[in-house]
Amino acid sequence: MQIIADTHTHTISSGHAYSTVTENAKAAKEAGLTYMCVTDHASTMPGSPHHWHFVNQRVIPDVLEGVRICRGVEANIMDEAGNLDMPLYVYLHLDWVNASLHEPVFRPDSESVHTTAIVNTIRNGIADAIGHPGNPSFPIDIEVVVKAAAKQGIALELNNSSFNGSRAGSESICGEIALLAKQYGALITTGSDAHFANDIGRFDSVRALIKKVGLSPDQIITSNEGLFLEYVQKRQNQRQEIIKSLMD
């Protein structure tokens, strides 16, 4: 199955990644991608930039190296209420928002606490995808999370980096997420979680899991350009409506 977008990439701005946007775009082109989401860590992650950095992504060209650039962020889930870690207006004009639990920001707790935090993030509607939900540091009630994502139409990420050392023990959890996503019709997105350009568009482990589970291409929003663009536009409209209502 083809994958046309990498929805989880980091640049030197994340503080612990090592390539530029241009270097990542070159790697995306070499990997045969059509779209690349720039999703540096949001401001509460140690070493990450001030939220003005994300507002100013408007200076990034729409196309680099022939690859369409989606201006985005990997936001931090801050609490059980599913609050994210930048002012609401910052998210208004972003193309893509990953929301993730990270140990330096959200202290690992119980399965119930993690599940509540992710479900409320899904329901809040600002995030387009939940990043690396298979992280074993944050055990969840997988069925509850998948059902919530399916109901709200929010994508769950299959994160290639999680299979390759960054989150040891993720494989079986991601496998269960994929199986339940197939059962309940939840949407899936694909992220390399690259912190160096060589990993942009690397989806070998994710492809293997998709094939093993037999996920339909219709559930993989990055499987074709039309599906991806439809999802991004729909989510942008919904996010803007939600944020404007909260800011009024």
The CA distance from 116 to 164, in Å, is 27
Alpha helices (H) in the chain, listed in sequence order: 21-30, 52-55, 88-91, 111-124, 142-152, 170-184, 204-213, 225-247
Instruction: Compute the 3-state secondary structure of the chain and give helix, strand, coil in percent, each to the nearest 5.
Output: 45, 15, 40
d(CA 68, CA 21): 12
Phi, psi of 36 (to 5 degrees): -140, 125
The DSSP 8-state label assigned to residue 46 in this structure reads T
Q: Is 150 helix (H, G, I), strand (E, B) or coil?
A: helix
Question: Which residue matches tokens 């989806």?
Answer: 203
Nearest-Å Rg of the Cα atoms of the chain is 16
Pairing, β 63-64 against β 129-130: unpaired
Q: Residues marked as binding for Zn(2+)?
A: 8, 10, 16, 41, 74, 102, 132, 193, 195
Residue 66 three-state SS:
coil
Per the annotation, binding residues are 8, 10, 16, 41, 74, 102, 132, 193, 195
Q: Which of helix, strand or coil describes residue 132?
A: coil
